[in-house]
Each structure stands twice: as structure tokens, then as C-alpha cells.
Homo-oligomer: A and B are copies of this chain.
Amino acid sequence: MAVYTDVDDAELLDFLSTYDIGALLSCKGIAEGVENSNFFLHTRGGSFILTLYEKRVRETDLPFFLNLMEHLSAKGLNCPQPVKNRDGVALGRLSGRPAVIVTFLDGYSIHHPEPAHCAELGAALAHLHLAGGDFSMTRPNRLSVNDWRPLFTPYADRADEVATGLRTLIESELALLERDWPRALPTGVIHADLFPDNVFFLGDQISGLIDFYFACTDALAYDLAICLNAWCFGPDHFYRRDCGAALLDAYQRLRPLNVAEAAAFPMLARGAAMRFLLTRFVDSINVPPGALVRPKDPKEYLAKLRFHREVAAIGDYGLS
């Protein structure tokens, strides 16, 4: 949860005067989002989200994210749509930060996903991958297999503070992932962070996907593996085969995995667990004084990694 930058009312009124969205009615900081400052913005023209991009987001990446949201919206995917100002430009500047207004999506996050939610997610993810098929821009995944060791090494000697033996486990696991990582799978636009927080439901149906600020070009099946990690384990961190089966099955109905993707899937799931284990670990020991975000528990992803190490084939995840 975070609002890192306060917005002055006078500056906000100036900023809004460049848009055709009517007079300001309300603007409240939202206690969500780790990377950026987000505000619920209500004007005579409707409801919006105002985002100020903080330093963790590279300004040169913003056109990729904004054009992607616009592309996906045009393809019928329900995601925030950047609002352009009177000059036809979506990317502005407010309080010294790059700033964007996007449309507001109704819906709320599901905290304890059940198989029906995972099936909805599988279909939405396949829809996203198919809709991204003709998106012309690319962006490398800066948190993929080659980035994990450089992320870990500076903090390696503190890993055992999280769990005894964690350093040894991560180092041997990294060696294996670097050696065996599948590098020739079908690629395209992936969301790369489609956690329950970033998926809105109304009743039993998905009403929208948000937060495309990790989106990049990478193996599509890796995105599915990230979702399996984020959605298909219970609060006790035990794998839920019913949820996993529902996710994989619904995804494949719209976009069947090819033989190579299916064979690589356990390795992709292991890598996805490693990626979030590492960022959570590094975040947990880098909490700055006065941080406005509670770090997430790295041990959750250690438990998931251990589970995937025992998986032999995609069928073990419950795929029928």
C-alpha cells in the first residue's frame, strides 16, 4: 500500500484542465500498488485512476505499457484504458513525476481463489496472450532467469536469516535453472504479475485485469506458471490440485500448450517460484526506514519452490 507522492490541489487542477473529463470532484490516494502512487479520481466526466510513476518504473518503458493497455482494450480485453489529453497525449507530468489517467474498472479482488475463479483466470490469461499476438512493441523481461543471480548475490549471505539452508538451496537451484531454462518456447506479451490483487471479479466473473507495469515479452507459458504459483496454493501454501487443474484446463481450451511448453511447464513453475522468492527476499531485507509497504513473506515462495522441485510432469499439476 502506498502513496509516495502527495498531489497539490492547485497542481492537480492545472493538470486536469488539459483533459476533457470535466471538473474535479474528488481525488483520494489508494492504499494499493507497490511501484507507483495511485489515486482514485472522480470528475464530472466519470471515475478514473490517476497514477504517478515513481522511480522503480523506467520512464522509457511507459509507452510500452500505455500502448499495450490501449491495444488490449481495443481487442476487447477489459483493462484500464489510458485517457488522452486535449493534445491526444496520454503521458503527462504531475508533481514532478510522469503521470497518467486511466479509466476506472469496477470489480474486487478474490482473496481465496476457488477452482471456478482459476478457470476464469485461465480463460482471461489465454485471451490476453491471444490479444497481444499482434502487438508490435517489445520489452525484455528484466526479471528472467539471467537476472536472478545478479539480484541474489549481493544479499546471499543474509539468505539464511529467512530460513536455514536457504542460501545453498537458492544457489544450487539457480545453477539448475540457468542450465535447463527453456529458451525456445512461443513468446509474446505476458502480464508477468497476474496475482489475485491484479484481477477484478464481479460475482463469479472476471471484470478486468490491472497493473501492467511488469508486462514484457517472454514465454507465454511462463505467464501461466506465474499464475499457477499465485492462484493455486492454499493459505497454508499447499498446492491445490483442483485449482491448478481448473486454471490449466481453461487456458488450454483457448490456447493449447504445444508439446515443448507442456514438457517445460514444471521448470517454468520452478523458475516463477524462484523469481518471486528472490524479489521478496531482497525486498524484505531492503525495507527503507519510513517504508509505507509491508514486505511480503519470502517463505511463501520457498514452500512453493520446494513443491515444484518434486513435480515430474505437467500432469502432476492435475491437468486431465
Q: A244-275 vs B: 1/0 string, CB under 8 Å?
A: 00000000000000000000000000000000
Q: A30-65 vs B: 1/0 string, CB under 8 Å?
A: 111000000010100001000000000000000000
Question: Looking at the complex, which one of B23, B28, B104, B294 makes contact with A31 (CB distance below 8 Å)?
Answer: B28
Kindly name the residue among A9, A28, A47, A294 whose own CB sees the greatest number of chain B CB atoms within 10 A.
A28
User: A10 to chain B: which residues have CB within 8 Å?
Assistant: 111-112
CA distance A26 to B106 in the complex (A): 5
Kindly name the residue among A31, A32, A47 whose own CB sees the greatest number of chain B CB atoms within 10 A.
A31
The answer to whether A177 has its CB under 8 Å from any CB of chain B is no
A292 in contact with B1 (CB, 8 Å): yes
The answer to whether A226 has its CB under 8 Å from any CB of chain B is no
What's the nearest-Cβ distance from chain B to residue A23, in Å? 8
The answer to whether A27 has its CB under 8 Å from any CB of chain B is yes
In the complex, residue of chain B having the shortest beta-carbon distance to the beta carbon of A30:
B28
User: A42 to chain B: which residues have CB within 8 Å?
Assistant: 47, 106
What's the nearest-Cβ distance from chain B to residue A67, in Å? 26
A29 in contact with B28 (CB, 8 Å): no
Q: A1-38 vs B: 1/0 string, CB under 8 Å?
A: 11100101110100000000001111111111000000
The answer to whether A165 has its CB under 8 Å from any CB of chain B is no
The answer to whether A110 has its CB under 8 Å from any CB of chain B is yes
- Identical chains bound together, number: 2
What's the nearest-Cβ distance from chain B to residue A302, in Å? 21
The answer to whether A108 has its CB under 8 Å from any CB of chain B is yes
User: A115 to chain B: which residues have CB within 8 Å?
Assistant: none
Q: Which of A78-111 contact B (CB under 8 A)?
A: 104, 106-111
User: A1 to chain B: which residues have CB within 8 Å?
Assistant: 1-3, 29, 31, 292
What's the nearest-Cβ distance from chain B to residue A14, in Å? 13
CA distance A306 to B10 in the complex (A): 30
The answer to whether A290 has its CB under 8 Å from any CB of chain B is yes
The answer to whether A312 has its CB under 8 Å from any CB of chain B is no
User: A27 to chain B: which residues have CB within 8 Å?
Assistant: 108
The answer to whether A202 has its CB under 8 Å from any CB of chain B is yes
B108 in contact with A24 (CB, 8 Å): yes
User: What are the 4 A-B residue pairs with the smallest beta carbon separation, nearest first?
Assistant: A29-B31, A3-B31, A25-B106, A31-B31
Which positions in A face B, CB cutoff 8 Å?
A: 1-3, 6, 8-10, 12, 23-32, 40, 42, 47, 104, 106-112, 200-203, 287, 290-292, 294
30 contacts between A and B (CB under 8 A): A1-B1, A1-B2, A1-B31, A2-B31, A3-B31, A8-B112, A9-B109, A9-B110, A9-B111, A9-B201, A10-B111, A12-B108, A23-B202, A23-B203, A25-B106, A25-B108, A26-B104, A27-B108, A28-B40, A29-B31, A29-B32, A30-B30, A30-B31, A30-B40, A31-B31, A40-B40, A42-B47, A42-B106, A290-B294, A292-B292
